[in-house]
Amino acid sequence: MHREKFLLYAAGIFVTYFYYGILQEKVTRGKYSTEQTLADGSITTKFEKFTFSLTLVGIQCVLNFIIAHIVLLVWPQIEDKTSKLYYVSVSITYILAMVASNMALQWVPYPTQVVGKSAKPIPVMILGVLLGRKSYPMKKYVFVLLIVIGIVMFMLKEKASKSTQDTVGIGELLLCLSLIMDGLTGAVQERIRAESKPTGIQMMKVVNGWSTLFLLILIVLSGEIFKFVEFANKFPAVYYNIFALSIMSAIGQLFLYSMVSEFGPLVVSIVTTTRKFFTVLGSVIIFGNTLTMTQWFGAVLVFSALFLDAYYAKKPTKKEISK
């Protein structure tokens, strides 16, 4: 039963977040252009970028909260006694991770963002040890080292490009911030699992509830919501893509938080990172993003290490065999 649940959650995460990744690239890196007629009668094309990361994450959090609330109404569960401070902490780190990740797409190609985020097990592991009181076998550290080497190789092309050297630095910085926040999120989730053991749906509802509150305040105070509406009215397809993306996010989180609750955040980070390999392939095929041989080798190294980690994690230890 344990293995069947794992496979069900993993399949749900793979399917929903694969489509989520395609929609995310459509929204954040889509080509938005309008034609303008100048005084001399000539026509010029004006290009605009999608820069509304707070609104994008905010809409997702609202739908995540609503769906989790509906599920809990249909399927009532025991009282969640988790400290509000833990949930507030997870909400803040989750918001920062998501916003930084989406903002990074303004400066780096989608495959770079995906492979960069594949380093998620690294901060989850390090901060899990420091803050979540976890311990890991030596081979897991070896696999993480392979992931780091693969990511460095993948990033080399971006470093070599003189025309984008300054902007890529911003994108990489945002990805690093997102990874650190992912690690903090995982560490706090480990503490929540150890102390109060809420169900995944309960975690999903409360985390997204706090996240929605914080983001609504930020979106209104910054005035971003008004600029977003103006932008979306010019390009109505944005409404559909964001709604579809948010639905995929909500369904994916049902599987994701259930897996966090039962298997832990490190297992989840490995599953979500593994599915990103197929997202990279989808991005290359659908959107025409090209990769060099060095980048392909780096990507294969990253995901090979992840597959090896998943394989050896399932093998029983000597103690388990002796029992």
Among 221, 195, 217, CA closest to 87: 195
What is the DSSP pairing of strand 43-48 with strand 32-37?
A: antiparallel
Q: Name the band, by pLDDT with cuts 50, 70 and 90, for residue 290.
A: low
Per-residue pLDDT band for 158 (boundaries 50, 70, 90) equals very low
Backbone angles phi, psi at 217, to 5 degrees: -60, -45
DSSP state of 317: P
**Would you say residue 298 lies in a domain?**
yes
Q: Which helix (H) or strand (E) holds 7?
A: helix 2-28
pLDDT in tens, 207-228: 999 999 999 999 999 999 999 9
Most confident option among 7-11, 131-135, 270-274: 7-11
Per-residue pLDDT, averaged over 74-93, amounts to: 91
- 96 vs 313 pLDDT, higher one: 96
Indicate left, alpha or beta for 288 from its phi (over 0: left) and psi (-120 to 50: alpha): left
Closest CA to 56 of 24, 10, 89, 92: 24
* Bridge partners for 34 per DSSP: 46
Mean pLDDT over 276-298 rounds to 68
The answer as to whether 322 is a domain residue is no
Write out the two tokens for 37: 């007629």
pLDDT at 322: 41
pLDDT score, position 90: 93
Looking at the predicted structure, is the pLDDT value of residue 173 above 60? Answer: yes
Range scoring the smallest mean pLDDT among 33-42, 104-113, 284-293: 284-293
Q: Is the pLDDT of residue 206 over 80?
A: yes
Using the predicted structure, report yes or no on whether residue 296 has a pLDDT greater than 80: no
The predicted structure's pLDDT at residue 277: 64
Any bridge partners for residue 37, and if so which?
A: 43
Whole-number average pLDDT of the chain: 80
Structure-model confidence comparison of residues 74 and 124, the more confident one? 74
Q: What percentage of the chain has pLDDT greater than the value 70? A: 80
pLDDT tens-digit map of 10-67: 889 888 988 888 888 888 878 888 777 667 777 777 888 898 999 999 999 999 999 9
- pTM across the whole model: 0.74
3-state secondary structure of 45: strand
Number of structural domains (the chain) is: 1
Q: Work out the burial of residue 313: count CB atoms within 10 Å of its CB; fewer than 13 is exposed, 13-18 middle, 19 or more buried.
A: middle
The string of pLDDT tens digits covering residues 235-251 is 999 999 999 999 999 99
Q: Is residue 86 part of a domain?
A: yes
pLDDT over 90 percentage in the chain: 28
Judged by average pLDDT, the poorest of 164-168, 224-228, 264-268, 289-293 is 164-168
310 band by pLDDT with thresholds 50, 70 and 90: low
- The band of 95, judged by pLDDT with boundaries at 50, 70 and 90, is very high
- Report how far apart, in Å, the C-alpha atoms of 220 and of each of 59, 96, 182 are: 13, 17, 26
Q: Which long-range contacts (CB under 8 A, 24 or more apart) does 205-208 make?
A: 205/65, 205/68, 205/69, 205/72, 206/80, 206/82, 206/87, 207/87, 207/90, 207/91, 207/94, 208/61, 208/62, 208/64, 208/65, 208/68, 208/91, 208/253
Provide the domain limits for residue 87. 2-315
* Cα Rg of the chain, angstroms: 21
pLDDT for 94: 92
In a domain, 266, yes or no: yes
Is the residue at 320 inside a domain?
A: no
Cα(192)–Cα(195) distance, integer angstroms:
5
More confident residue, 61 or 131: 61
Q: Per the domain annotation, does 26 fall within a domain? A: yes
- Rounded to whole angstroms, how far apart are CA atoms 82 and 64? 19
